Amino acid sequence: MSSAPTKTLETFPNPAPQRDYQIHMEIPEFTCLCPKTGQPDFAVLTLDYIADKLCVELKSLKLYMWSFRDEGHFHEDVTNRILDDLVKATKPRFMRLTTRFYVRGGIFTNVVAEHRKKGWKPAPHVELASFSGQSNTRG
């Protein structure tokens, strides 16, 4: 695999397809250009997904993100485009992409886009008791 920017997203088989588990990635150095001014936009992207049969390979994800550096995109457009490309490549059970763009014109922009596989429902949340702070000494 080269080190040049690319729109190709590589995948690998999910090592535990029998289980719903969350994959969380933070991409703190995303850049693209403002389509109006050509000035750079900077963002932190957060990707959360529950894989089905495939997971996204990290180096290809890095090179894919890098491919937007010289392209002009509105925040809403680039968020949805990235989500669509990731869904197309991995076909996850669930995927959420959150983009947090740094200030432009005095305004911070956050965009959240989601995908759910048809028929998939998350398992109910289980709340476990916390035992921190309890003394375990005998008296």
Q: What is the mean pLDDT of each run of 10 residues along the chain (139 residues)?
A: 86 97 97 94 98 98 97 97 98 98 92 96 87 60
**Which residue segments constitute the domains of the chain, with CATH numbers given?**
24-116 (3.30.1130.10)
State phi, psi for 22 to the nearest 5 degrees: -90, 135
Q: What is this structure's pTM?
A: 0.88
Q: 75 CB contacts (<8 Å, ≥6 apart)?
A: 41, 43, 99, 101, 109, 111
Q: Out of 34, 48, 52, 85, which one is annotated catalytic? A: 34
20, 32, 41, 70: which one is catalytic? Answer: 41
Q: Which amino acid is it at 103?
A: V
Q: What is the pLDDT of residue 137?
A: 57
Q: What is the reported pLDDT for 125?
A: 85
34 belongs to the catalytic site: yes
Concerning whether 77 is annotated as a catalytic residue, the answer is no
Radius of gyration of the chain (CA): 19
